[in-house]
Amino acid sequence: MKRLQEFSPFLDEFCIQRFGGRLGGAHLDGNTKYPALLPHRGRLTELLIQREHLRQLHAGVEQTHAAFRERFWILWGQSTVKRVLRGCTTCQRVSPPPYQQRMNQLLEMRVEAAGPFVNVGPLLIRGHSPNRLMQKGYSCIFSYIVVRAIHLELVFDVSINSFLRALRRFITRRGRPAIMQSDNFQTLRQSSHFLQSDFDALNWKATVLLEHASRCEGYWKHLLRSIKLVLRKTVGRSLLTFDELQTVLCEVEARINDRPLTLVSSVAQDELALNPAQFLIGWSLATLPDGNGGATSTDMKHLLRRRAHQRKVIAHLWKRWQREYITTMNRRGKWRKIQETPRVGNIVLVGDPGTPRSRWPFGRILEVFTGTDGLAQSAGVKTATGTIRRSICSLALLEPAT
C-alpha cells in the first residue's frame, strides 16, 4: 500500500484504478497521462503483455515494456515483462540459451602416466586450394593425449581407405595405442565401426565423441588451432607438391612438439620447461642429446648402468610432469557452477552449428546420462526422424516437463 502512494492512484468513472502522476498538463492521450494500474502477477496482466509483445513483432523486454506503459502501469514492470516474455515460444526458438553444466572431471587417460601414443585421438583437417584444378591435401592428426604431443600424416582424401592407411603408418612408426578416441567426423566414425572386430580381438578401446559436443574436444581444438596458425604463417596461399607438403608437416609436427608445457623459468639454474618432445625422444628438439665424448662401450655392465640411468631420467621426467603440469589443470577456468539439469519429458531444440537456429528440430528428452561426477552431460532425445544422443550443451529448453 505504501508503494501505491507514490503513484497518487485514483478511480475513474469506470472504477478503474489509474496512475495520477504529474503529467496532467501534458498534451497526451488520457491513457498515457493516467495509465491503468495493474498487479505484477495475474492472468490479465500476462495476457495484456503478450498482446503488446505480438503487436511489437516479438520485440525485446525494453521495447515491449515501453510500449506497454503507454496504456498500463505495473509494479515491478521490468521484471514482470521479462518473466512473461521468457515464456514466448517463438522468441525461445530464435534465441533460447542452451543448457550449461559445470566443467566435468578430466578423463583418466589424460591424468595417468602412459607411454608415447598409448592414448591417442585422431583428427582430420584439410588444406584449401585457390584453384579447383589443384588437388586438396588433408592431414590426419594423432594426438598423444597425456602430454599433448602430435603426429601428422598426409592423406590424399578423407575416405576410409586413406585413413586406414594413415593409421597403419602411424602404428608402424609409433606403436599400437591402447585407447583411441576420435571426434564425430564421418570418416573416423565409419572407420571405428569397420575396425570394431579388430579392436575387440586386440583388446583396443575405441570411442567416438558425441556429435556437436565441442566442450569434450577442448584439448584437440587447441592443438588444431596451433597447427593451422603455423600453416597459415608458413605456407599461406602457396601451392605445394605433396612431397613438399609432407616435409612442411614434419617440420610443423616438430615445432608443435617442442613447445613448452610448463612455465619457462627466468632463472638460469632451473631445469628447462617440460615439452612433449622430451616424452617422445628423451630431450628437446632444440637441444642436442647427451654424448659420452668417446667411443661407445658395449660392455654389459656399462649397458646395464646406462639402462638404469635412463630409467631414472624417465622416472624423474614423469615426476616433473605430475608436479608441474598436471597440477595446472586442476582449476576450472569457466563453467564453474552446477546449472539446471535437463529432465525427462522436457521439450528442447536440438542445436546444429551448420543450420540456422530457426530450422533446428524439436525434440523430447527421453533419458539423461550423467558423468563420473554425477552431473548431467548428455541426453537421449526423440525427434521427428528418430532417437539421437546429444550433449546437453547443444540442447535448448523450450518447455519444461509438466
The answer, yes or no, to whether residue 400 has pLDDT greater than 90, is: no
Of 1.10.10, 2.30.30, 3.40.190, 2.40.128, the CATH number of 95-103+333-402 is 2.30.30
Q: Among 306, 316, 332, which Cα is nearest to 274's? A: 316
Mean pLDDT rounded to a whole number for the chain:
78
Domain 108-257 carries which CATH code? 3.30.420.10
C-alpha cell at 210: 558425441
What percent of the chain is modeled with pLDDT above 90?
A: 7
Domain locations along the chain: 4-86, 95-103+333-402, 108-257, 276-329
Q: Which three cell numbers stand for residue 289?
A: 642429446
Q: Between β-strands 205-208 and 179-182, what pairing exists: parallel, antiparallel or unpaired?
A: parallel
Tens digit of each residue's pLDDT (9 = 90 or more) over 315-359: 887 788 778 777 777 776 666 676 677 889 998 888 887 788 778
The pLDDT tens digits for 66-124 are 888 888 888 888 899 999 988 887 787 776 677 777 776 676 666 677 767 766 666 66
Give the model confidence (pLDDT) of 140-196 as tens digits: 888 888 888 889 998 888 888 888 888 889 888 888 888 777 776 777 767 776 676
**pLDDT tier at 295, thresholds 50, 70, 90:** very low
pTM of the model: 0.62
Q: Which residue has the higher pLDDT, 145 or 292?
A: 145
User: Of 261, 146, 280, nearest to 272 (Cα)?
Assistant: 261
Average of per-residue pLDDT across 120-139: 62
Which pLDDT score is estimated for 360?
Answer: 85
Query: What is the predicted pLDDT for the residue at 199?
Result: 66
215 φ, ψ (degrees, to nearest 5): -70, -20
Cell reading at 104: 566435468
Q: What is the DSSP letter of 286?
A: T
**What was the pLDDT predicted at 80?**
92
Residues of the chain with pLDDT > 70, as a percent, come to 73
What local confidence, expressed as pLDDT, does residue 132 receive?
47
Q: Which of 44-58, 117-131, 194-208 has the lowest mean pLDDT?
A: 117-131
Q: How confident is the model at residue 292 (pLDDT cuts 50, 70, 90)?
A: low
Of 308, 303, 305, 388, which is closest to residue 351 (Cα–Cα)? Answer: 388
Strand partners, 388: 381
**Alpha-carbon distance 388 to 386, whole Å?**
7
Per the model's pLDDT, the better-predicted residue between 215 and 356 turns out to be 356
The predicted pLDDT at position 364 comes to 93
CA 239 to chain centre: 33
The CA–CA distances, whole Å, from 264 to 4, 134, 271, 275 equal 65, 43, 9, 11
Reading the block at residue 45, the C-alpha cell is 496482466
If you ran DSSP here, which 8-state letter would residue 30 be given?
A: H
- Greater pLDDT, 373 or 226: 226
Contact yes or no for 263/288 (Cβ under 8 A) = no
Q: Classify 395 as helix, strand or coil.
A: strand
**What is the pLDDT averaged over residues 16-29?**
71
End-to-end CA distance of the chain: 35
pLDDT at position 198:
66
